[in-house]
Amino acid sequence: MTQGRARLNTLGPMDVELRVIACGLCHSDLHLINDDWGISEYPLVPGHEVVGRVVAAGEAVNGLAVGQRVGVGWLCGACLECPSCNAGEDNLCAVPKRTCLANVGGFASRIRVDSRFAHPIPEGLSDLQAAPLLCAGVTVYSPLKRLLPRSGRDVGVVGVGGLGHLALQYASHMGHEVTAIIRGPGKEKDAKAMGASSCLDSTDAAQMAAAEAGFDFLLVTVSADLDWSVYMSLLRANGTLCLVGMPAATIMVPIEFLVGEQKILTGSSIGSRDMTREMLDYSAANEIYPWVIRMPMDRVNEALRILADGEARYRIVLTA
């Protein structure tokens, strides 16, 4: 990372200032650092899985007090008046404020955000446990909750990494039969400890062919451009394939999947404020925790290399 001179924004009447305690490291931080999406603004301070303590509050802040422990994810603000915001889907706001773009992110020692996007952390979650939930956690919890209202479905989680290792835990806790779909061997034991009842090796064509029409729901947590027809074939009629990763890809699939078999191809974007708070409570109540590697903030460059090499098992959290 380069040395930045990014400054804290001014403390508005609805804002809180947080002293950062811990910050998870997400693949999106790498995308931002490399400007893979063409939206980065430099100097850039990454970090959007932030756990901190409130050290100052604007005069109109309601419901948060100095000293309180809160978490901030990808969103640090929204207009709160567009149709999406009015429908409680502020994660889909037309003019979102993103933690590392509009603001200094959680690699800083202090950040300032709209207090309505600073979520109280339940007692049952430690700082290290809470941090990764604020982006990775809600990103997989939200589609499982929204798109799978009934339990007992056959769910496949594609990829066991920062997102996938939490998706396996949530999906099994929600009462689904869960399969981890992994490239090659090496993560089966971990995947089963996270709640998968079976594993499928996506590099084994025979295994993939045998699994055709075996799933009601596939959650794709990897950021790779896959052979989407193969994955659509794994679904039963009326099944849903949902992406939460953002591969730089244009997806083309035979129309037969959509019309003839009524399969749904969709995606899901983090989660609303309500969904984030629900997810935190659900995680604490059901003891769903990320598998965390703790590293001090001054080893951030080494941590970023580990993440880029795909060696983070399964989430690095930087501590102040």
- Cα–Cα distance measured from residue 227 to residue 95, given in angstroms and rounded to the nearest whole number: 33
* Segment near Zn ion (CB under 5 A); pick from 21-29, 147-155, 220-228, 255-263: 21-29
79: contact with Zn ion by CB under 5 A? yes
317: contact with Zn ion by CB under 5 A? no
270: contact with Zn ion by CB under 5 A? no
* Segment near Zn ion (CB under 5 A); pick from 2-10, 20-28, 159-167, 307-315: 20-28
Query: Are 204 and 217 a contacting pair, CB within 8 Å?
Result: no
Q: Which of 20, 54, 104, 135 binds Zn ion (CB under 5 A)?
A: 135
118: contact with Zn ion by CB under 5 A? no
| Closest residue by Cα to residue 124 from 266, 287, 262, 11 | 287
99: contact with Zn ion by CB under 5 A? no
Give the HSE-up count for residue 166: Cα atoms under 13 Å, Cβ half-sphere. Answer: 32
312: contact with Zn ion by CB under 5 A? no
Q: Considering beta carbons, is residue 85 or 234 the nearer one to Zn ion? A: 85
Q: Could you tell me how far CA 40 lies from the centroid of its own chain?
A: 19
| Closest residue by Cα to residue 101 from 151, 163, 150, 28 | 28
* Segment near Zn ion (CB under 5 A); pick from 7-15, 78-86, 161-169, 199-207: 78-86
Q: Which of 18, 22, 23, 28 binds Zn ion (CB under 5 A)?
A: 28
SS (H, E, C) 144-184: HHHHCCCCCCEEEEECCCCCHHHHHHHHHHCCCEEEEEECC
* Segment near Zn ion (CB under 5 A); pick from 5-13, 129-137, 152-160, 257-265: 129-137
Pairing of strands 315-319, 69-72: unpaired
CB of 93 to Zn ion, least distance (A): 3
